[in-house]
A = this chain, B = another copy of it.
Amino acid sequence: MAPSKKGGFATVYTAPLARLIEQLQRLPGVGPKTAQRLALHILKRPEDEVQALAQALVEAKKRVGLCQVCFHLSAEPVCPICRHPNRDKTTICVVADSRDVIALEKTREYNGLYHVLGGVISPMDGIGPDLLNIQALVRRVSQNSVQEVILAISPSVEGETTTLYVGQLIKPFTKVTQIAFGLPMGGDLEYADEVTLARALEGRRELMS
């Protein structure tokens, strides 16, 4: 076989391909191998399809902002959920991130409004209450006839801190509840961690007969 000469090697990727792979690698969970696979796939697709993807990227970034009322992702100043005539305006579910709104909407179980904090209080990461949409929530709750605020923030240390902090601020204005934590449905008690089990015990309810 032809002997290897270091000088003999051109760069493995042609420039535009290298740039695409580099860009794709910036996406979460996309390593060099995945980036290469995606890039080579894209080169095989018809041009209009690639254009459509590029278009969708730019359009989404350009047009999707935050709802002025609840800070959920929205292409309009006020999101469809806040505008919807059939939704219960007296209940606000407080979540950390827009993806939590999406998850809750998919359950189709909740018909109230939302309030997206945009994160959780995390001094380690320099995220104080003032960096979150907390004052806006207090204003919302104090100025409108809100009957219940449901705190639905993941039970991490930061999440719990945020729940307590927000809870204290809005208790004066309305009833404040927190979503239940416990054994996940289909979860096996034997394999549940101590903290979850403790929460499940603490949150026990009388059996309806």
Residues of A within 8 A of B (CB): 1-17, 19-20, 22-24, 26-29, 34, 36-43, 45, 47, 49-64, 73-76, 79-81, 83-84, 86-88, 90-91, 98-99, 102, 105-106, 108-112, 148, 150
Contacts and interface: CB of A to CB of B under 8 A. Distances in A.
Contacts of A90: 2
B2 A57 contact: no
A58 B54 contact: yes
Contacts of A62: 16, 47
Nearest to A81: B10
Given A8-B86, A16-B59, 14 more contacts: A4-B110, A5-B111, A12-B102, A12-B105, A14-B76, A17-B64, A19-B59, A20-B57, A20-B59, A26-B53, A43-B61, A50-B57, A50-B58, A53-B57
B56 A23 contact: yes
A36 B105 contact: no
B41 A27 contact: yes
A151 to B, nearest CB: 13
22 contacts: A1-B110, A2-B88, A2-B111, A4-B109, A6-B108, A9-B108, A9-B111, A10-B80, A12-B102, A13-B102, A16-B62, A16-B75, A19-B56, A22-B56, A23-B53, A26-B53, A36-B99, A39-B60, A40-B98, A50-B58, A54-B57, A54-B58
A19 to B, nearest CB: 5
Contacts of A26: 45, 49, 53
Contacts of A91: 1-2
Given A53-B57, A98-B40, A110-B1, A63 B8 contact: no
Nearest to A179: B1
A38 B35 CA distance: 13
Contacts of A11: 80
A56 B10 contact: no
A140 to B, nearest CB: 16
Contacts of A51: 58, 61
